[in-house]
Amino acid sequence: VKRVAASCVWLASKLEESPRKAKHVLIVFHKMECRRENLPIEHLDPFSKKYSDLKMDLNRTERHLLKEMGFICHVEHPHKFISNYLATLETPELRQEAWNLANDSLRTTLCVRFKSEVVACGVVYAAARRFQIPLPENPPWWKAFDADKSGIDEVCRVLAHLYSLPKAQYVHVCK
């Protein structure tokens, strides 16, 4: 589990805008393991056999993860669709609210459950409801953007649930 977690973090950092070196990921996970096991925190020497073995495991596990995902690890974000949708709907006043909702949607599983177009439609719809701006119903506006009403409703439900959660609290990790 520890190897897979480290490999997932390393792979995820490569896919977004914050790539990390394997060395940094291994050092952080090594320190976390020392803390979890109540061991003295020792420096992980990048020239040691232990480091070499951990790095080899990290690479091997990353390859297994990629294989299991079919090497498909690109996720389109809904942000790129929002501006186009709002321009088409002639509702640019919703841009900031829809953008904020799209940012918050990344804290959920929406990006892997729905196509980006559906998430974009969902955040546009939620923004329009918040500001009480009507969207075209006849014909349904979401059909022009390759989305369905049930997906949009689910996006809105997930976002509403996210906003109903209590504010996150800082938890001090060290004992």
Tell me the mean pLDDT per 10 residues along the chain, length 175.
Answer: 92 84 94 90 92 96 92 82 90 92 92 91 95 90 92 96 89 71
Determine the Cα–Cα distance for residues 143 and 60; give it in Å rounded to an integer.
Answer: 44
Domain 78-164 sits in CATH at 1.10.472.10
pTM over 0.75: no
Residue 75, pLDDT score: 73
Determine the Cα–Cα distance for residues 121 and 141; give it in Å rounded to an integer.
Answer: 9
| Among the listed residues 24, 19, 61, the one whose alpha carbon sits nearest the alpha carbon of residue 46 | 24
Are the CB atoms for 6 and 58 separated by under 8 Å? yes
Q: Where do the structural domains in the chain lie, given as residue ranges?
A: 1-69, 78-164
Residue 67, pLDDT score: 94
Are the CB atoms for 126 and 155 separated by under 8 Å? yes
Residue 170, pLDDT score: 82
